[in-house]
């Protein structure tokens, strides 16, 4: 890497365009380890979720923030977290991350995590204020509406009204249709009669929203709001079926929605980061990040970041951490991204293929500039 590129990346105030809140309360040792995996199950007997790329990266890059030596053993690391307490641990990691703005998706277990306002407060120092904005999850709004027990005929109107209220001050919307159904959904908006019948069936059966007709309906109502629309893609917990989370499966929807002028944000994307990059290159309204993958690939994250930059236009790639729960993940996402960008761009400069000025400019676009433009943050 070259020094000017590394220095510019290190000093940058990032915009984390897709993130969740840090844990609102103390995490015991088991809760902390559970936060470092997408699996809902405990590690097999005799093993640990900390013996992973992300676990090793935490002990390397997060330990110094807690006044510990790099690579400290897990027992000492966990003891130090308990000594400091959750509020201090969170403050240290959020401020150390160098993230200046968090776009916080609030639809997942919101009662267990910090709100956008609390995230900004925890990350703010006298010299470096931080801000936060909200991203609204479509499925969570629909489930809140259903809890009010509207009749089937009134569901569509009730959802539209609720989304209007919830998203009035939001900067974006998000769908987890990849989890609830898959990305191989019918790209056409459903007819009102279809929505009414599906709503009646769902409200009779109860449970979380997984009906493909209603999930499509939420997407199209979201499109009409005009805000950037985020999609979970690829790597996640076992609720999803991985091969149905390939973003190429939603190509029909991308074509169908293009004329609406709504930015489509493909999140995480692993192991489909190259496919997502192609879609960003092919369609003017498609963007991507490799957020979740950066944390979970640890020392290999530079390879993932490099692949995201192979064919995607540089104005179409964004930084995110997708951190939820342990605040180490908010810090680690930033650290690993900075290291990856410095290494990848620095190599291209050192080889003579890129200039230092271009490398710094691209890093600034991906780290903050693209998010500020797409989410209109400069207007806030």
For residues 363 and 369, give the distance between their C-alpha atoms in angstroms, rounded to a whole number.
9
Residue 236, both tokens: 């996640």
Q: How far is CA 338 from the centre of its chain?
A: 17
Residue 134 has what pLDDT?
98
For residues 318 and 377, give the distance between their C-alpha atoms in angstroms, rounded to a whole number.
14
Question: Positive or negative CA dihedral for 78, 296, 365, 378?
Answer: negative
Residue 380 has what pLDDT?
63
Residue 379 has what pLDDT?
66
Bridge partners (DSSP) listed for residue 288: 266, 317
Per-residue pLDDT tens listing for the chain (380 residues): 578 899 999 999 999 999 999 999 899 999 999 999 999 999 999 999 999 999 999 999 999 999 999 999 999 999 999 999 999 999 999 999 999 999 999 999 988 999 999 999 999 999 999 999 999 999 999 999 999 977 899 999 999 999 999 999 999 999 999 999 999 999 999 999 999 999 999 999 989 999 999 999 999 999 999 999 999 999 999 999 999 999 999 999 999 999 999 999 999 999 999 999 999 999 999 999 999 999 999 999 999 999 999 999 999 999 999 999 999 999 999 999 999 999 999 999 999 999 999 999 999 999 999 999 999 998 66
For residues 121 and 154, give the distance between their C-alpha atoms in angstroms, rounded to a whole number.
39
Residue that the structure tokens 């306002």 belong to: 117
Q: Which of 3, 116, 4, 1 is nearest to 361 (CA)?
A: 4
For residues 72 and 55, give the distance between their C-alpha atoms in angstroms, rounded to a whole number.
11
Interacting residues of 46 by C-beta distance below 8 A, sequence separation 6+ = none
Length of the chain measured in residues: 380
Residue 240, both tokens: 């999803």
Q: Which of 331, 321, 183 is nearest to 251 (CA)?
A: 183
- Measured CA to CA in angstroms, residue 283 lies from 215, 219, 287, 288, 312 at distances of 23, 18, 9, 12, 10
Residue 269, both tokens: 């994307």
Residue that the structure tokens 């088991």 belong to: 30
Q: Which of 250, 178, 189, 255 is nearest to 216 (CA)?
A: 189
The residue ranges of every structural domain in the chain are 3-22+96-379
Residue 66, both tokens: 């807690």
Residue 149 has what pLDDT?
78
Question: Positive or negative CA dihedral for 322, 324, 330, 332?
Answer: negative
Q: Long-range contact list for 25-28, CB < 8 A, 24+ apart?
A: 25/86, 25/112, 26/82, 26/85, 26/86, 27/81, 27/86, 27/325, 27/326
CATH (residue range 3-22+96-379) = 3.20.20.140
CA atoms within 13 A on the CB side of 261: 4
Residue 61, both tokens: 């890059």
Interacting residues of 335 by C-beta distance below 8 A, sequence separation 6+ = 61, 97
């Amino acid at each position: 890497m070259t020094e000017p590129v590394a220095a510019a990346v290190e000093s940058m105030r990032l915009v984390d365009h897709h993130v969740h809140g840090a844990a609102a309360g103390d995490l015991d040792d088991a809760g902390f380890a559970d936060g470092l995996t997408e699996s809902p199950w405990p590690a097999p007997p005799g093993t640990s979720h900390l013996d992973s790329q992300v676990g090793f990266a935490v002990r390397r890059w997060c330990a110094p923030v807690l006044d510990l030596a790099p690579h400290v053993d897990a027992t000492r690391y966990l003891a130090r977290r308990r000594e400091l307490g959750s509020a201090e641990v969170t403050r240290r990691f959020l401020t150390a991350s160098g993230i200046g703005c968090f776009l916080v998706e609030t639809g997942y277990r919101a009662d267990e995590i910090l709100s956008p306002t609390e995230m900004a407060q925890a990350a703010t120092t006298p010299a470096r204020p931080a801000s936060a904005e909200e991203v609204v999850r479509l499925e969570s709004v629909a489930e809140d509406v259903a809890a009010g027990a509207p009749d089937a005929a009134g569901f569509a109107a009730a959802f539209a009204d609720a989304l209007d209220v919830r998203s009035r001050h939001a900067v974006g919307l998000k769908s987890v249709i990849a989890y609830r159904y898959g990305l191989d959904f019918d790209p056409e908006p459903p007819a009102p009669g279809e929505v009414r019948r599906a709503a009646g069936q769902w409200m009779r059966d109860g449970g979380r929203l997984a009906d493909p007709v209603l999930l499509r309906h939420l997407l199209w109502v979201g499109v009409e709001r005009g805000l950037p629309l985020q999609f979970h893609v690829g790597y996640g917990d076992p609720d999803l079926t991985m091969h149905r989370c390939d973003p190429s499966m939603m190509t029909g929807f991308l074509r169908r929605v293009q004329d609406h002028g709504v930015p489509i944000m493909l999140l995480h994307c692993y192991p489909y980061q190259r496919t997502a990059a192609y879609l960003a290159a092919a369609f003017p309204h498609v963007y991507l990040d490799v957020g979740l993958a950066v944390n979970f690939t640890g020392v290999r994250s530079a390879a993932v970041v490099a692949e995201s930059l192979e064919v995607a236009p540089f104005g179409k790639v964004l930084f995110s951490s997708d951190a939820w729960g342990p605040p180490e993940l908010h810090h680690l996402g930033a650290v690993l991204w900075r290291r990856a960008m410095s290494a990848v761009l620095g190599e291209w400069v050192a080889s003579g293929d890129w200039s230092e000025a271009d490398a710094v400019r691209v890093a600034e676009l991906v780290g903050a500039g693209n998010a500020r433009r797409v989410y209109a943050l400069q207007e806030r």
